[in-house]
Structure 1
Amino acid sequence: MTAPVTVRPMTLVDLKLALEWGREEGWNPGLDDAAAYRIADPDGFLMGFAGDEPVAAISAVAYSRQFGFLGLYICRPDYRGQGYGWPVWQAGLNRLDTVMPRGTVGLDGVVAQQANYARSGFERAHRNLRYGGISTLDTPPDPRLARIGQGLFPTVRDYDLENFGAPRENFLKNWLAPGVDSRASFSLVEDGNLLGYGTIRACVEGFKIGPLFAEDEAAADVLLRALAGQAKGRMVYLDLPEPNEAATRLAERYEFSPIFETARMYRGKAPDLPLHRIFAITAFALG
């Protein structure tokens, strides 16, 4: 490293740049991820600068004083191998240690970096598998299905808390907002009870589903068809926790195939999440 690294919170423009770096690495971000990501924790996205030159980035989102998540850790290719990324990694961890002392920190680590994360105190909890394929599905004419609007939002927010394990109301207000061309969100309600919900969003390549939370495989099946039906004939991806065997069955039922993996890792006590209800995680950057 030939110049000291200054780390500061990202502006929205900085975050769009970091996502562009991710696009170049094949991370396939959503077309409108930046604003929704940043609202989750405006001070939780950090960029490292060598002089005035942006060189590395990380997200260090604190959802509460008990839980935070690291992601979007990336260094520009022309600055790799020179020590520019390490100060940014340290700044992300230090930020979470300051905001949520003794809290649990999660991340989704690619295979090549899992040993490095372990050296920083992260322990592997389970694999995540990315499934992808051309959607051949139609949105079913099921009267229980509905687009998520303001009236249902409090119920969806509370259901999300049960399955995500930490509050993220501001993020959800943006992520689930009606009228956003690049995203669509559906709920499944029967006899006044929410059986699940999910979102699909347009990405650089194809579409990603996430989150997809549901009470059981049958409810998840209806929601998956509703979501993937919005992108029929195009590539659709979803990242599912491997311990949820029903999620694997569901993906393979509709001819999605595994193409990529990460490991969910935690530093601190791993949260007791209902993995049987998690059929797709939201995003590797945010958990």
Structure 2
Amino acid sequence: MASHQNEPPAFSDEEYHIRHSNGHDESRQIWWPFMQNLGWNRGWYDLPTYMDHSKSPGMLLIFPKGGQKPVGHIAATVNSNSTGWVSLFVVDEAYRGKGLGRALWEAMMENFHTCGTKIIGLDGVLEQKGNYERKGFVESTLGTVKIMSRPLVCNKGLPNNVQAGPKAEMVILDQVPHDLLAEHELRLTGVQRTELWTEENLFRRPDAQGWALVRRAPPQGVDDILAWTVIRRCSGGARIGPVYADNAVCARSVLAQAMNAADVDYIKALPLENEPMNTWSSERIRQKATMIAEVWTGNPNAVTVFEELGWSYGGADYHRMWLKGTAPKAQSEGGLAQRGMYAIFDAAIG
């Protein structure tokens, strides 16, 4: 991540200034406590993954004049095909109502403009939906992103009928050329994140594991990919997503594969900074840890696939919204997201 230490501030008045972060260590001093306090089930390793694939200059931080600790942040995540995402927008509760959120927002939109971003989306909670509508964002008519969860260890266990048939082979994601993953995602979502699906920005993380269901191994083209998913460590347990698949049977197969890997040993091997679970016994982890996924209801089969494997509604939805109502073709009416997108990677970056 490039240093922005000598750049002029994006915003400055008598009390506050906004500038780009000088690196992930600086960003984490505010971002990670926010994630833990808000209960957003993110992981310690997520921040570089969120930021380093973006074409934008990085996370924007707001500081009181003379202060060393930021009190809010936001990021304009810009993808390879000029699609963008409003990311990680939080202001410390003690500093709200001072116009700082508006200043951060305007600095972020300037980043989008500078990068030539043509389509901008976000996933907003219900409480912020009206605020985003006033900023020109229009809710998708296709569906919401539903938070779903499941105990890490469930008495129901996993069903036996999760195989996708004799013509399909399950492989670890490292056996799939990563440019094919990006191409497959682009086909299903209209978002091109070539730099995300790389060793440097994701697969070198100690917690990231993934599987793909393929017609032949190794796959020679994007049509050889039937389904794939990734698990990552997060506060409270493990996060699964995305889940992309040709059909519900294939989606269920890769989801079950990931669920089997997200076990107590996986949790204990990957402690997170300042997480109470680090000191828990195996038995307590078995009782308390959960799996989290952000499931796309625009695909009519998605929730059913998760429910069949013991998942339930987590009590919250994100409202997928697009600036001026302009969504990628794949996430518009009749687009491939309606049958191929089961769970997203993360509401933080789309």
TM-score by structure 1 length? 0.91
Question: Are 1:45 and 2:59 counterparts?
Answer: yes
**Which residue of 317, 329, 334 corresponds with 1:272?**
329
Distance 1:49 1:65, change over 3 A: farther
Matched, 1:133 2:189: no
Match of 1:283, SS state, is: coil
Match of 1:5 in 2: 17
Cα deviation for residue 181 of structure 1 reads: 2.9
CA deviation after TM superposition for structure 1 residue 237, in Å: 1.1
Partner letter of residue 272 of structure 1?
Answer: K
Q: C-alpha separation between the residues in 1 aligned to 2:191 and 2:150?
A: 31
Aligned to 1:177: 203
Match of 2:90 among 62, 66, 74: 74
CA distance in 2, matches of 1:20, 1:210: 23
Determine the C-alpha separation between the residues in 1 that align with 2:195 and 2:39: 28
Is the aligned partner of 1:214 residue 2:240? no
The amino acid across from 1:242 in the alignment is: T
1:197 aligns with 2:248: no
What are the residue-to-residue correspondences of 1:24-35 with 2, within 5 Å? 24-35=37-48
Matches within 5 A, 1:135-174: 135=152, 136=154, 144-149=169-174, 152-173=177-198, 174=200
Local SS of the residue matching 2:20: strand
CA distance in structure 2 between the partners assigned to 1:195 and 1:250 by the alignment: 16
How far off is 1:155 after superposition? 2.1
* 2-structure distance, mates of 1:34, 1:4: 24
Of the three residues 101, 106, 113, the one matched with 1:85 is 101
Structure 1: distance between partners of 2:248 and 2:163: 18
Contact 2:229 2:243 in 1 (8 A): yes
How much has 1:59 moved relative to structure 2? 1.6
Using the TM superposition, give the Cα deviation of residue 141 of structure 1 relative to its aligned residue in structure 2, in angstroms. 8.1
Q: Report what 1:186 is aligned to.
A: 211
**Alignment deviations for residues 85-109 of structure 1 (CA, whole Å, 9 cap, x no partner):** 22111111121022125x1110000
Q: Which residue of 2 aligns with 1:36?
A: 49
Q: Normalized per residue, which structure has more strand?
A: 1
Cα distance in 2 for partners of 1:46, 1:150 equals 36
Q: Which amino acid aligns with 1:152?
A: P
Could you say if the C-alpha distance between residues 64 and 177 of structure 1 is closer, same or farther in structure 2, counting changes exceeding 3 Å? closer
Give the fraction of aligned pairs with identical amino acids, expressed as a percent: 23
Query: Could you tell me how far 1:14 is from its partner in structure 2?
Result: 2.9
What CA distance in whole angstroms lies between the structure 2 residues aligned with 1:247 and 1:166? 19
* CA root-mean-square deviation: 2.3
Aligned to 2:306: 251
Q: Are the counterparts in 2 of residues 109 and 263 from structure 1 also a CA contact under 8 Å?
A: yes
Q: Is the 8 A contact 1:182 1:201 kept in 2?
A: yes
CA contact (8 A) 1:55 1:84 kept: no
What is the match of residue 126 of structure 2? 111
Find the aligned partners of 1:20 and 1:223 in 2 and give their Cα distance: 32
Distance between the aligned counterparts of 1:65 and 1:243, measured in 2? 23
The answer to whether the 8 A contact 2:74-2:88 is kept is: yes
SS state at 2:70 partner:
strand
After superposition, what is the alpha-carbon deviation per residue over 1:198-256, rounded to whole angstroms, capped at 9, x for unaligned?
Answer: 10111011111111111110100000001111124541111111121211101111221
Equivalent pair of 1:10/1:47 in contact (CA under 8 Å)? no
Whole-angstrom CA distance in 2 between matches of 1:65 and 1:181? 28
Name which of structure 1's ranges 139-148 and 27-36 shifts more when overlaid on structure 2.
Answer: 139-148
1:47-103 deviation digits (Å, cap 9, x = unpaired): 1112233111012111146311002100112212222222111111121022125x1
Deviation at 1:8, TM superposition (A): 2.2
What is the alpha-carbon distance in structure 2 between the residues aligned to residue 189 and residue 65 of structure 1?
26
Distance (Å, rounded) in 2 between the aligned partners of 1:2 and 1:235: 46
